[in-house]
Amino acid sequence: MPLNVDRIEADLAVIGFGKGGKTLAATLGRQGQRVVMIEQSASMYGGTCINIGCVPTKSMVYRAEHLTPGGVYDDAYRSAVGATAELTTDLRAVNFAMLDNLDSVTVLTGHARFTDPHTLQVQTVGGTTITVAAQTVVVGTGSRPVLPDIAGLSTTPQVMTSTELLSLPELPARLAVLGGGYVGLEFAAMFARYGSEVTVLEHGPQILGREDADVAGCLQDILRDSGVEIMTSAEVTSVREDDQAAAVTYRTGGTEHTVEADAVLVALGREPVTDDLGLTEAGVETTSAGAIVVDEYLRTSQPHIFAVGDVNGGPQFTYISLDDYRVVLSQLTGDGSRSTATRTAVPYVLFTSPPLARVGLTESAALAAGMDILVATMPVAAMATVPRARIVDETAGLMKVVVDASTDKILGAALLSYDSHEVINTVALAMRHGITATELRDTIYTHPSMTEAFNQLLGALAPARG
């Protein structure tokens, strides 16, 4: 469709080039529907994941894992930053072409704002204004890091989010990480491997506050062994610039401390990007946290407007955004039966070395719910039937599974081990389809593999001590 127009009539308008939106745009575009994809920045074609999220972080982690622990690798770091930039540039071009090559799809680069429930005004980067009138609108504007109200945090030049840290050209000699959650720990582990002196400041009593204490404790030991200093129950009170470095002041147990860093990563959560979208003009409701309110079919308070991905306040994973696409597609061209209500056993992974993969209930959550459970927990190094870990010299970590004592159904698992990001999918699939712990224990697996750990792990189930 030509761009020398000031108004476009469309069957579908998508705001945001993320996984759910771009997949829907491509699918309906291939079916011949008139689609307009609106992305605010050319540097974000393809969405957060490939540009500033999953792909670049995993690229940096992968390259760090090939370095011998304990050294300082400035050259390797610079090389990794360059290789990662090339990777994301290539993927960005592929994603743009995926839509731009479709005759029925128009890609607009600029800021979109509702003027009424069916109309968007797009201020393009070229300075023109284009009106898009669409029968259906999908909002997929994602999320951004939260910058809390801490003195000096927004004005100290060494403070950055994960986006800026990912493209930092030189390895920081000292890195302070505010937050001991998934993002903070992934960056902490990665930069420590490249040789940065890393300090993690976590406000809660343990890192990964939602995980079982034994799992979080095991990961904390692994991180400390890799050189990461972790301070829990640490309240950050201020950040200031001091002699071209940042001085982070925090309080623990009533005592004030200061850590100096060449870079400070703020990893204290993310918030939906919904400001300046004209949602009020569109009649779209939001929560107090700014997320777009949706039903189980991802419809907003306006039935023809959908919200997919992080912006709707759901789990912030690319694969959830992809499943959001399936739900919306079911509404638009299918039988309408798919919904988020039947979404179960969603796994997630923290890409430390080794990675921590989780699905379902923790032991503590199951006990708090009054459930009668069986639990098995084994250090990887003690599992004689898992030679794969020894072959690749990755014996750190533990494996843990929680099972319903009355039904033998798997309730959850925590796998802190080599290849856990792959193995966890087996557990999630078993949970979704009601495969019992006994069946998983007695299944034939390839050898040597990490999956065969279930032969031994599930044979060690015992009543929970809680």
Please list the active-site residues.
447
Both tokens of 420, joined, read 């856990």
User: What is the rounded distance in angstroms from the CA atom of residue 54 to the CA atom of residue 47?
Assistant: 10
Is residue 187 within 8 Å of residue 100, measured between CB atoms? no
The answer for 151, left when phi > 0, alpha when psi is -120 to 50, beta otherwise, is beta
Say how far apart CA 261 and CA 199 lie, in whole Å.
Answer: 9
Start-to-end Cα distance in the chain: 64
Alpha-carbon span 353 to 13, nearest angstrom: 41
Answer whether 437's CB lies under 8 Å from 409's CB: yes
330 half-sphere exposure, CB direction, 13 A CA radius: 16
Strands 462-463 and 373-379: antiparallel
Cα–Cα distances in Å, from 250 out to 152, 181, 199, 203, 387? 13, 18, 12, 10, 44
User: Helices 213-225 and 182-194: crossing angle, nearest 10°?
Assistant: 20
Nearest alpha carbon to residue 138 among 277, 287, 338? 277
On the question of a cis peptide bond just before residue 2, with omega within 30 degrees of 0, the verdict is no
Bridging pattern class, strands 129-139 and 119-124: antiparallel
- CA distances (Å), origin 237, targets 153, 163, 219, 242, 393: 10, 23, 26, 16, 41
Tokens linked to 187: 């960056």
